[in-house]
Each structure stands twice: as C-alpha cells, then as structure tokens.
Chain A
Amino acid sequence: MNKKVEQTPFDKVLIANRGEIAVRIIKACEALDLATVAVFSDADREALYVTLADYAVHIGPADAASSYLNMDTIIEAAIKTGAGAIHPGYGFLAENAEFARKCEDAGIVFIGPKAEIIEQMGSKIQAKALAIASNVPVVPGYHGEDQSLSCLEAAALEIGAPLMIKASAGGGGRGMRLVTDLTVFRDELALAQKEALSAFGDPTVLLERYVVNGRHVEVQVLGDRAGNGVHLYDRDCSIQRKHQKIIEEAPAPNIHPSVKEKMFEAALSLSTDIGYDSAGTVEFMYDPISREFYFLEMNTRLQVEHPVTEAITGIDLVQWQIRIALGEELSFRQEDIACIGWAMEARITAEDPAENYMPATGIIQGYKEPSGANIRVDSGVVQGSEISHFYDSMLAKVIVSADNRRSAIRRLKKAIDAYLISGIQTNSEFLIDILGLDDFVTAGHHTGLLEQAFPDGWRKSEISQGDIAEASLALFLFNSKQDSADPWSSLGAWRVGEPAGKSAIAYFTAVVEGRDNLPVTIQGRAGNYAVTVDSKRVLQVKNAGFNDGQLICELDGLRISRAVTFNNNQACLQSASGLALVCLLKPEQVYLERSNSQFEGGNQVTAPMPGLIVDILAKKGEQVTAGDTLVILEAMKLMQKLVSPVTGIISGVHFAAGDTPEKGAILISIDPENKLEEEA
C-alpha cells in the first residue's frame, strides 16, 4: 500500500460536513488562521455554515448519498478550491477509511487518524480483537464472520437475553436492536441487517450481551504523529433515546477513582498500541453493580459531545485535531491536563419526544440562544433555517459548565428553558424533564433510564387552560392591529352597546399543541378582556398589551408578564408548565374543512412524515392482520415500521420501494374484512 507518512502543511481546510459541526470546525480554523471551504447540498444552500465559510462549493442534491457521502465530488471540491486538508466532522465520511485513502491519494490531508486505524476500528470484530490484545476487557458476545441465521441464532442462545444486535460497520445507534426476548430475535435481526445494509452498505452484524442498567462511559484520547498520547478524562453518555445520546457530561459521575484510573489506562494503552494519531474516543459499558467495564468500540473521529471535555480540560479538541494534522506535536503531557469543574451537554433536536421521537421538519420562525457565563451553544441554525427530513435531526447543542454536577444540571435546565426555538417542534421540554429525574440528579442513571422513567413514552406536561387563555389573548392582540391608523381596526371590537354591557365576543377554535382543539372566546377590547376556554371563563384581565415581546396584563390587580413570540398565526408563550403553543383558527379555517372528514379512513397506511420507502411487505390482494408491518420507511435516518390499522385485504399499494412520499401520502389501502363479509 502506498503510504505517505509526511504530509504537506496546508492553509485551507475543506469541511466535509454540515450543520453545527461545520460551524464548530470553521471557528477552530479561524482561530488557527486557516481559510475554510464549506460544501453544501441543495438543501443547505442557505445554511449558516455555508455563509460563515470563506468559500463554499455545491456538491449535489439533498440526499446525503449524492452529496455529503459522495467522496469524489468532495475531493474534487477540495482540489478546485485549493484546500490542502479535509475535516470530515462526525458522521458522513468521518469513519470511512476509503475516503481517508482517497484524500491521501489526492495529496490532501485527512484530518483524522490514519486510514488503517479507521479501518481496524471500523470493524467491530477487528476492534474487539485489538482490545483483547491490549488487555482491555470486552463484553461477551459473537463477533464472527459466519453471518448465517443458524450460527447467529446459536450464538444468541449462548449469550442469552438481553442482547444487542449491532451493525458491524455501524455507529451512532443506527443498525442497533435490543432483544429482550429471544423469540423475536429473528424479526429484529432482519431489521438490523436491513438497516445496516441501507445505512452502511454492509449487513454484517455482531451480537453482544446487554448489560442491564449499564452506563455508557467513554474516554477521550489524543495522539499526535510523533507517537505522543494522552487521555482527556471521561464522559458519561448514558442518557440515550433510541440508542442515541442526548445528554452527556464530563467527568462521569459516581465511579470510584480506582475504576476510572483503570479505564483511562485501558483506553490509553489501546490507542497507544495502535498508534492512534488524532482525537479519538474509547467507549465502554460500565456495570455499576459489579464495577466492571467492557470495551464497546473506539470512535476514530471527533464526537458530538466533545465540548464537555473541552470545558473540563480547557483543551480545544478540534484545534488539536487540525494542529496534529499540520504535523504539530502535543504541547502538553498527561500530568499537565487537569479536570476542573463539571460540564454537561444537551442535544437540541427537531423531533417530538411524545410521538416516539418523530422527526419534525419546517422552518425556524423564532430563534434566540441562551447567553451567560459558562453557557456555550454550538448551533447550526439561525432564524429562518429550514429543517428538512434529509439529515440528522440535531439542531444545536447547549453546553454548560459549573463547579459541580448539581450546579451544572441547574444551569443546563435554565439554559435550555431560555433557548427559544419556535416554528418547529423540539425536544427541549423532554430534556428539562430528564434533567429533573431523581435517578439522574443522584447519578443513579443508566442507558435504560428513559424507558424506565417513561414506560409509556414521555408525555409533555399538559399546559393549563390559563396558559391557553393567555396565549390566545396574546395572539388575538398581536393580530388585532391596534396600532393601525384605521379606527375599524384600532378600536378593536367596538360596539355601540358596550357601555350597556353588550361587548363583542370573538370566536375561535384553538389548536393547542398536545391537546384536542378547543373553542376559545375573547370578549372585550381596549385592554379589558374576558377569555373562555372550552366554554369556561378562565381569564379576566385589565390593561392588557404588549411590551418588548411580553404579554402584560393585570389579573385581579396582579401584574402578569409572559414572554411570547409569534409566527404563522401561532403564539408560543412561556408559562410555568412549559411552552404553550396555541394557534387560533378563524371560522373559515375550521368549518370549511369539515366536510372533508369523510376521507379520513381507518383503513389506510399513510406516511407519518416525508421519507424514503425502504421496503413494502405487502402485495395487492394479500390478507393482512391489524398490526402487521406493511411498510418500512426511512426518515431522518431512522427506520420506521408502518403497520396495518385493520384486518383485511390489501386493495391498493400506491408506492414502491425507493419512492419518497410526502407526509400524509396514502401508501397502502386495505379493504376491512368485515366490510367484505357484509357485502357478500
């Protein structure tokens, strides 16, 4: 193999990524006085990172396979712009050895470890073998090359439940399936293989024992090309939903220092043994009962959660990745690195945690980041950013640091609460609820905490009728054009009989997020209003008005002020029980639609969101039972099983695998069984 050890220094870096991490890398390059080149797909033309980079190159259509995963186009872009190095960020091509090689071949520095390390660690089977060679403890499991069903089933039996099926080439939670009951092993295996194939082009899976109530603890390492290596302490990333991390912290809490020392030692010996020459992460499963830890995998790239390590060590990991690639040696030794304070990160994602983390798409209408000492926001979005279904749902990360863990939790809660993102559903309230869980606050958490704490799924705390009334009033006032020069608007709902107690009532249907539609009336004008929700009077205020984004009014003499933003006829009001999102519909928006309700049948499978149909498991004329999986839809990089709502005969299959239906598209129609009988 042609191997170039010495690489040419560079002064321009192409960032083969998008979103917040592209922004993060641009900032690091700027600090190092390096010019930056962004690449963008059709969907990212207006993205923040594109505007921040010195140069930007269009690399293709929105789907990642044709753009951010298209190695040749990206290398071409680097050559065209004279970029001497490529930073892959995380995800996409970050752990793709072939890409690293292609860069090398093109004379471009790949900012990351050597290609063969990526390759070794990319295969979980090989990685495990190397870990064993470095005396790092590993989880019992099957990592064999024989991928036959019989062999995998036999291995599963030996490992026992619960076990985890993982895509060998995977990462980031994709292609991972937890099996708690071996009778469904076959089904889950099939799905895992399918996901692995579609996500990584390789259906190979491995099986591992699943540590019950285990914690995900990882060690950050940093190595240079002169063979120096250090660790930067640990991180706890146990708070995961669907095997994807959402809250991370450094250091890992509630682990005895002697165990930690062993873990650092293991991580460092593995990275040193393989000659690791960049920033990397060695992931472990920690069993808090036995105090054992097992090697899971090594990530040969920058991690999403790297900022928490930066916060406790004061070392800029991205800058060091680049400096190492520039040929610099680490300027510090292990004993120079201190672990000070506590850092915690939360990932703000565009999704609905109450609806099985359904990805949300749309345009960010209102946007305001939290600010303050020890609050860092790594964001890829701004007001007006469009969130499509093509990429990961993460919008931004909020990172806080504090003297100790409890203070960090408080600060993070407050920062998330102050982070205003409207126009698109986010997981903010879910994150705040997690940060308040006893098990988390007392560091008794583990990777299964969310399923345990929210057995039926997380539910948004219901906003009160008072909140709905306030949000409705705010929106009503916002829409009422009181500042108009036209008295027909500026006088509000003026009526001649008002002094005789005959004031006007405005009738609305309120669409309240997380609740059924409610009738809302608002009576009065000129600062004095009575609001009913669901035919009950819940608010009577005086001197109501707006001032600087606040609804201000007097309720029985008590002055109330509430932060509220508006977009698209929706008010987003911050109340004690969270964000109240209320939209007021006019009569014609409610009553004209009504006659269409007959078309909403319970005998169809519709696309819950825009996405790609991976497979359709039913044919026209086939008999299906309610609950049967009929369609596998990939959206926002997650596979979804769409099941039949009724028992009956498939009467129509309207899409095929490979199609990309819009949200609400009817995919499959079913003739309910009883209907056929009735007709017969």
Chain B
Amino acid sequence: MAIISSEINPNSELFRANQEQYEELLALWRSRMKVATSGGRPALLERHQSRGKILVRDRIDRLVDAGTAFLELSPMAAWGQYDNELPSAGIVTGIGIVSGYSCVIIANDATVKGGSFFHETVKKHIRAQEIAEAQRLPVLYLVDCGGAYLPEQDRVFPDRDHFGNTFFRQCQLSAAGIPQISVVFGGCTAGGAYIPALSDQVIMVEGNARIHLGGPSIVKVAINEDVDGETLGGARMHTTVSGVNDHLAADEEQALAILRDIVADLNMERRDITPLNPIQKPLYDPAELIGVINHDKKIPYDAREIIARLVDGSAFQEFKPEWGASLVCGWAKIHGQPVGILGNNGALFSESSLKGAHFIQLCDQRNIPLLFLHNITGFMVGTEAERGGIAKNSAKMVYAMSTARVPRLSLVIGGSYGAGNYGMCGRGFRPDFLFAWPSAQVATMSADIASNVMLELRRSKQADGDVPKEELDEIEKSVRDQYGTQSDPYYATSRLWDDGIIAPEQSRDVLGLCLTLVRSTPENDKFSPVYRM
C-alpha cells in the first residue's frame, strides 16, 4: 500500500479558518451531547437516586468490563422534539463488553418520562435489536419503564414497527440462539412487563422491581381488588411464588453482578479476527480533519485527505485512480481491520459508478467490509450523462452495494443528497452502522437547489412567465426553511436516520470498533429457543 501524501498545510489560513468554523459546530455538538446524555431534570435524578437506584449510564458503566469501550447509539434521539424533554428518547442503547463478551445493551432511563416508550424510544429499541440480530450479540435489557407513553399511543403502539415489534424481535432473537436477559430495576407494567417476561433469564431487584400486566389502579378499576404494588408484582413474590423471576438481587449492584455472572457463561463465541501486525496510527492526526473540510461547501476537498486521517499508517491501496476520478476507491486498514473505502470527490458520473460497482464486487469477493464516506450532491445529470446511460450505470452501483454480502458502514461527512445517498449506502440500504458528522446534511437535494427547482416549477406554470416577486420570495423562503430544518444533522439523528452524530476526531475509533465487531460476527447456526415456564 502506498502512503497518502497530504497536500494540506495545517498552518494555512484556509485550514485555520475551516478549523475555527468547525469548532463552532463541535461546540454545539458537545453542549447538545451533554444535555442529551444527562437524563431527566435534576429533581428527577435526585428522586431516582434517593430510591437506591443508579442512573442509567452508571448502570452501564458498572455492567461493562472496566476499561473497555461502550459504543452508545443515537444518544441524541428525539433531540428537539417533545419540547426537548426526551433526552436520548428515554432509552440508552449500545454495544459493550460484558464479562469478555460483546453484548447489546438496551437500558431504560426512568428519569425521562418514567422510562416510557415514545415513537423514537421504540425505534431506538428496535434498531438495537436489529444490530443484535445482524451481529449475533446477546441483548441485555436493563428494564426500568412504564410501557407505552399513552398520549402518543398512535405513534407507538399499532404499526408494524411499533412497540409490538420489539417483543416479536425478542422472541425471534431468542429463538435464533441470541440470549435475551433482563434485569428489572423498577416497575414494569403492561407492555413493560413483557420485556422481562419474554427474556430467557430474569433478575429482579428486591424492593424496587415490579412486574405486573396491570398495576394496582387498573386492578382496582377492572376487578375492584385492592392490592399494593409489592404484593401484586414484587420481586420476592415473583421469585418465590410465580416463578416469573429467576434471580433475586438485594440491590442494583448485586443485580448487575448477577447479570455479569450469567453473561460469563453464555457460551457465545465470536470469530477471532485479531490482526497479526501491530496497529499503526495514521501519519496525519485525526484532529486535523476539522481543518480539512472546507467550510464553504462550494470549495471541494479531496476524499484522500479524509482517508489519510482515518486509516492505519495513512496507507491506502487505491483502485483505478486514473478512471472515474469522482469516486475514490481503495483498500486500507482501520485498527488493523481491512476495509474497502469509497469516498466522493464530486458528483457520480457513469464511469465513477461503474468503478464503484466493480470495487464493491471485489470487496464482496474478498470478504472485506465496505466503508462509504458520503460527501455527494448526487449522480450527474444532463444530456451527456443520460446519453451515457447514467441511469443504468448508477443503478449498477446501487445494485452491487445493495446485494453485497460483506458488512457495510456509512459515514456521512458532508452532504448526502438524492440518489447519491442511495449509491453511497444511505439508511434505506440498511448499512450495518451509519454515523454522521456535525457537518452532515441528508436530503433529496440541498436547500439551494431545492428552492431553485421550486421557483423554476412555479415559473413554468405561469403562461406569461411573470410571477409576482412576493410569491417567489415566499416560495423560496418556505422551501429554504423546510430544507434547512430537515437537512440539519440533529433533525436526522433525532429521528434515528443514523446511529449517532460523532466528532470527526472520533471517527477512526468508532469505525475501528464497528469493523472489529462486524468482522467477528459468526455464521448463523441452529440454536434452541427458550420457552419460559
């Protein structure tokens, strides 16, 4: 592999200006990240802890192996929605190492609306289960929730990808030999009760944990029985009488310790993909990435400059560098794991599409995961392009990408517009992981182009070609507002269009974690389901 030689001068004015501008994006990202990962209001945090309960991310810190990574997914889900009172959508999901095994962790945050399920909560929950299924990771549910958020029930309950689907997936995962284990920390009513009830193994914390299909108030209304919550569904009752629970824990620390103990003996194995050679850091500091990306979107930058700051030793074996130059393709390693990278250097032409399709097939044949670095306005338009068969040639790339059997990762670093988003493995193509930078923009097209398109459409409807200026201004403003709002990366991450916004500097590590994970996923096998008795 050749080592990429950077053309960028970190002391140049442009670099510094870029850095300064991006630093503002990062400041915003940090402040929002802090809010999103701090749970509910201080009074609620205090009340939670006064009950002997541990905060959700603290539970995860205590659960995962000390000194190992936890890859939290979509921490800014629901950002800006529900008056911004639903940090992380009330649920923390991610991948961590527990007793040496990679596991998916799904943990309710009871300090956020009592841990109840909103639309994004469900979506995040399902996304984590989807990853567990794809990567064959045991799922550890840290349950502390009151079921569906009733005022939003039409967006939570009835549809195919709503709450019911989480339970369907739980059964399917278990049946596929992927352990489902729950620790119940608080009250689990109605839907919440099914998370533990459908788990292979359950741990309940004495005093705080409750499982009941109907709580005391519903019981009173339904059958006029007066009963307190502890008698109805307390941990001790479920351990010694109903058998709903398998392990009784005196407190949360012990519950988490029991969970670690159970995971230690799950007998799950992953493929050993340990690199043979020592890992080399990039020759160029990933911290420089924010100076590489031009703040002015009209000034292009070379995808190789990004790649040089992501890959081991900045070494890159480029494929077809002299042909289809607007798509940079080549092989590299990240944290020792092989990866085939596709990065945009402008719009996709027929040649670059064909090159991309060819490259994807090579990676598929060689069992090398794909990484798409999105910075694309779209496929080329115009007579020349159409006459050159851009429609079928771009489709070849989309087709190759869609049917590749190797793991696919996407990182949206800049714009990801229209069919370009399709060709580069957008969310609709189910990449194994998709992360975005604070500079990302995902939409059918940019606000500039969209407003011009709409103005052109309006003008073409007017026979005499004279549309009042006020109307055109009104159209432009509304289209720009819509595209501006909706292509904002926080709008996207709030709706789970990605697995989270990460700082450019974190990208190498995040990709390394993901590649190590997806490459170690074992082949599917036959396992037995567990029927709770």
Contacts and interface: CB of A to CB of B under 8 A. Distances in A.
Partners in one complex: yes
Interface in A456-501: 476, 479-481, 485-497, 499-501
B62 interface: yes
A586 B97 CA distance: 14
Contacts of A497: 33-34, 37, 72, 75
B30 interface: yes
Interface string B231-268: 00000000000000000001001101110110010000
Interface stretch (B273-281, B365-373, B380-388, B424-432): B273-281
Contacts of A495: 69-70, 72
A116 to B, nearest CB: 68
Nearest to A481: B67
Contacts of B254: 591-592, 594
A500 B37 CA distance: 9
Q: Give the interface centre of A476, A488, A500, A594 by most chain B CB atoms within 10 Å.
A: A488
Given A476-B66, A502-B34, A502-B57, A496 B502 contact: yes
B71 A591 contact: no
Given A486-B516, A499-B503, A476 B67 contact: yes
Contact of B509 (A479, A491, A591): A491
Contact of B66 (A480, A485, A488, A592): A480
Contacts of B72: 495-497
Interface stretch (A131-139, A362-370, A504-512): A504-512
B58 A485 contact: no
A480 B68 CA distance: 8
A490 B33 CA distance: 24
B67 A591 contact: no
Contacts of A506: 61, 66-67
A587 B68 contact: no
B212 interface: no
A168 to B, nearest CB: 59
Given A499-B33, A502-B34, A507-B62, A492 B257 contact: no
A497 B34 CA distance: 7
A114 interface: no
A480 B258 CA distance: 22
A489 to B, nearest CB: 6
Contacts of B37: 497, 500, 502
A277 to B, nearest CB: 66
A587 B260 contact: yes
Residue of A490, A504, A508, A525 with most chain B CB atoms under a 10 A cut-off: A504
A169 interface: no
A491 B66 contact: no
A595 interface: yes
A496 B506 contact: yes
Contacts of A491: 69, 509, 512-513
A495 B94 CA distance: 10
Given A586-B260, A588-B264, A501 B34 contact: yes
Contacts of A479: 66-67
A492 B513 CA distance: 12
Interface string B11-42: 00000000000000010011101100110000
B31 A500 contact: yes
Contacts of A500: 29-31, 33-34, 37
B260 to A, nearest CB: 5
Contacts of B250: 594-595
Contacts of A492: 67-69
A508 B61 CA distance: 11
B61 A507 contact: yes
A504 B510 CA distance: 16
Interface residues of A, number: 36
Interface in A233-271: none
Interface string A404-430: 000000000000000000000000000
B215 interface: no
A590 interface: yes
Nearest to B274: A485
Interface string B484-514: 0000000000000000101101100110110
Nearest to B63: A587
Nearest to A477: B67
A168 B377 CA distance: 103
A222 to B, nearest CB: 61
Contacts of B253: 587, 590-591
Interface in A594-610: 594-595
Contacts of A501: 30, 34
B516 A487 contact: yes
Nearest to B276: A485
B70 A504 contact: yes
B257 A592 contact: yes
A348 interface: no
A575 B172 CA distance: 56
A502 B61 CA distance: 11
A502 B39 CA distance: 12
Contacts of A494: 69-71, 509, 513
A234 B43 CA distance: 77
Closest 8 CB pairs of A and B: A506-B66, A480-B67, A494-B69, A591-B257, A500-B33, A587-B257, A487-B512, A591-B254
Interface of A: 476, 479-481, 485-497, 499-502, 504-508, 522, 525, 586-588, 590-592, 594-595
Interface of B: 26, 29-31, 33-34, 37-38, 57-58, 61-62, 66-72, 75, 97, 99, 102, 250, 253-254, 256-258, 260-261, 264, 274-275, 278-279, 335-336, 500, 502-503, 505-506, 509-510, 512-513, 516-517
11 contacts: A481-B67, A485-B278, A492-B68, A493-B61, A497-B75, A499-B506, A505-B61, A506-B61, A587-B257, A588-B261, A595-B250
Given A485-B336, A587-B260, 6 more contacts: A485-B279, A492-B68, A494-B69, A495-B72, A496-B72, A500-B37
